[in-house]
Every structure is written in C-alpha cells, then in structure tokens.
Amino acid sequence: MRRPFIAGNWKMNTTVEEAVSLVSAMASDLRSETAVDIVLCPPFVSLYKIREMIAGTSIGLGAQNMYFKDKGAFTGEVSPLMLKALCRYVILGHSERRQIFGETDALVNEKVKAALSAGLTPIFCIGETLEENDAAKTGEVLTRQVREGLKGIPAGIEVVIAYEPIWAIGTGRAAAGPQADKTIGLIRTEVAAVLGADAAESTRILYGGSVTAANITEFIGQPQIDGALVGGASLKAAEFSSIVKQAGAIKASP
Ligand code: PEP
C-alpha cells in the first residue's frame, strides 16, 4: 500500500510574510489530515520560518531546487547540506528548471544522487513537451528521463517521482485521469528496470499539471497514481486543503 502524497510547489511566489499567512491559513485544516503525506515547497527564503511554524505537525517541508555540491564557490546556489538542516524533500528536475535554466538529465542525476547522499528525499520530476506528445514520443522521453535521472542511485532508498506533462503545467489543461494512469504505469515499469521490482512497487508516483480541487478525484482515484504535485492551486489555502482532504478520503475508502 503506497501512502498518498500531495505536495504544493509554490514556485517563485510569496514573500516571507505572504508565506506565513498562507501556512497559517492552511495549517489547521492540514494538521487534522492523517491519511496523506503533505509537503509544502515554498521559496528558499521562507523555509526556515515555515519549518518553525509546522514543527510538531505531520506536515512536511521541501525545497524547489538545489545544486549538487556541498559547499564552495557556486554563487547563488543552495547545497544539499544547507537544505538537510531545514527540510526533508527537494523538488529536482522540474520542467521549468529543465526548460528555462537548461538543466540536463545528467545534471538532474547529479542532483538526485547528491540529495540522496545528504538524506533528502527527491521529488524527481519528468514529463514530455506538447511537441513530443503530439509526435507520440512520450514513452521514449520518459524512459530516457527515468533511466538517466535515476542512474546509479542505491537500492532501497526513497525517491518520489512526479509525472508532469509540460503541456499540462499552468495551462488549465490537465491530462485525462486514465491517460495519466496509463503513462504512470509505464513509468513504474521503467523504475523497475532501473531500481528493481520492489522499488517500483513501493515508489510513489504523482501526477502534476493543472490539478485543482475540482479535478483531483480524477487522478487520485486511479490505481497507479499515488498523489499530486500541485502548482497554482497550492497557493490558495482552501483549495489546497480541499485537494488534500479529497485525496485522503478517496485513498482511505475501500
Ligand atoms: C507544477 O509546477 O509542478 C505544476 C504542476 O503546476 P500547476 O499545478 O500550476 O499546473
């Protein structure tokens, strides 16, 4: 049984003050949810403050990126050791990092390995572009991203994977639940090829891309989909809480 997992990727939104208000507005709702692993991923500058706010709750905290070196002359970067002191999770390989900042599969792989060595759990993102999808290249792209991104990682270690078709991110055009389920089934097969059958069975694979309170049930009700990585809707306290609650209720029902 894989425990449902809902993470909110706030991206480059919220000042520290706004982040505090957002967490205050959602914390009591989220605190009472016990059936779902909930992870908030605010900007770096708010991690310290939010860590204090959620201390003693089951709400998890994650960063949105990191470099793979522990320290040194890498101006502007944040290291696994720095994050380890603040949070448990780190989003890696998000399509915005790949597309806007030119991150390659090889760089993402370095980051995944460094996060794991530091004891962080990566939320490893993969997904195809619209052009790749139209050209029926989704399977090929995801296979490459899984094989390259997870290459060389030790067995028995936790990684969360987020399948985020790029054409669905921030567009309001979510994938269809059954289609996302089928694709995530293929990703699980690839994970088995790289990490082994047991790891594939226990790895949580999320869907991401225009998830809202109105469509979460379409995804969370699918057998291969273990949760969601939520962007825009995670910036609205009531909507994010509703997504979490609906996920908990569906996965808890027989
Ligand atoms: C994301 O950025 O990871 C994401 C899924 O965004 P949105 O939910 O806004 O599409």
**Active-site residue among 96, 128, 132, 164?**
164
Per DSSP, 125 falls in state: E
Per DSSP, 103 falls in state: -
End-to-end CA distance of the chain: 12
What pLDDT is attached to residue 107? 98
140 is catalytic: no
Residue 174 beta carbon below 6 angstroms from any ligand 1 atom: no
Please give the distance, rounded to the nearest whole angstrom, from the Cα atom of residue 48 to the centre of ligand 1: 23
Residue 99 beta carbon below 6 angstroms from any ligand 1 atom: no
What pLDDT is attached to residue 254? 65
3-state SS, residue 250: helix
132 is catalytic: no
Length of the chain in terms of residues written: 254
Residue 211 beta carbon below 6 angstroms from any ligand 1 atom: yes
Per DSSP, 166 falls in state: G
Residues 62, 60: Cα–Cα separation, whole Å = 7
Please give the distance, rounded to the nearest whole angstrom, from the Cα atom of residue 221 to the centre of ligand 1: 19
Select from 63, 105, 44, 94 the least CA-distant residue to 208. Answer: 94
What pLDDT is attached to residue 29? 87
**Active-site residue among 33, 94, 128, 239?**
94
Asked whether the beta carbons of 86 and 60 are under 8 A apart, the reply is no
Please give the distance, rounded to the nearest whole angstrom, from the Cα atom of residue 203 to the centre of ligand 1: 21
Residue ranges, the chain, pLDDT below 50 = none
Q: Whose CA is nearest to atom 6 of ligand 1?
A: 231
Residue 248 beta carbon below 6 angstroms from any ligand 1 atom: no
Residue 127 beta carbon below 6 angstroms from any ligand 1 atom: no
Residues 174, 162: Cα–Cα separation, whole Å = 14
* Helix ranges (DSSP H) in the chain: 16-31, 44-54, 80-84, 95-100, 105-117, 130-134, 138-149, 177-195, 197-202, 216-220, 237-252
Please give the distance, rounded to the nearest whole angstrom, from the Cα atom of residue 94 to the centre of ligand 1: 10
Residue 169 beta carbon below 6 angstroms from any ligand 1 atom: yes
Residue 122 beta carbon below 6 angstroms from any ligand 1 atom: no
Residues 200, 187: Cα–Cα separation, whole Å = 9
What pLDDT is attached to residue 253? 74
Per DSSP, 253 falls in state: -
What's the pTM value of the predicted model, to 2 decimals? 0.97
- Tracing tokens 């290291």 back to the chain, one arrives at 79
For the stretch 47-70, what's the b/e string if a residue is b when 16 or more beta carbons lie within 10 angstroms of its beta carbon? beebeebbeeeebbbbbbbbbbee
Q: Using one digit for the tens of pLDDT, what is the confidence trace for 76-85? A: 999 999 999 9
Please give the distance, rounded to the nearest whole angstrom, from the Cα atom of residue 72 to the centre of ligand 1: 32
